[in-house]
Amino acid sequence: MRVLGIDCGGEYTGYGVVEMQPEEKLCCLACGAIKLSLREPMPLRLSRIYVQLGKIISTYRPDEVAIEDVFYALNVKSALKLGQVRGVAMLAAATSSLAVSEYSPLTIKSSVVGYGRAEKQQVQAMVTRLLRLPSVPEPMDASDALAIAICHLHTTATLNRQRAVAR
């Protein structure tokens, strides 16, 4: 299974494509971030995210997409902008007929680090280790996106094992 993880943000939108290979070996196929200019109007930024995610989907052909679920924000304006970016990410996936799964930050950290309140640097270190990468993925948004993809792959594998036992 191949998953595109997306870490939505107004300035950087991280992406990571991870594949679960035989014997449950994780492999990073791509990661990075879509850098946006805060000086550009929001509609143009959203369009850039949509187009870039479309190219990533077309190039890597993921089976599914995973994104971080909405969390509570102190700043309402920031929360609304984040919601717009999430909507565009979902639209890019839906346009390519891909299922989208959403995970809370707590679930993602628990899945990758084993502790839901882990620091970002701990997540980054575990992503590097789990994917056997030569260096830490940069920027932080890219490692977050990889963590989201890993979380989805772990969750799917667990659910598949549970279904197999139930039969």
Q: What amino acid positions are annotated as catalytic residues?
A: 7, 68, 141
Exposed, middle or buried, 4 (CB in 10 Å: 0-12/13-18/19+)? buried
Instruction: Count CA within 13 A, CB hemisphere, residue 1.
Output: 19
Query: Which two three-digit tokens encode residue 89?
Result: 């990410």
Helices 105-112 and 140-166: crossing angle, nearest 10°? 80
- The DSSP element (H or E) to which 82 belongs, if any, is helix 76-95
Cβ pair 146, 16 in contact under 8 A: yes
Nearest-5° Cα angle at 11, 40 to 113: 170
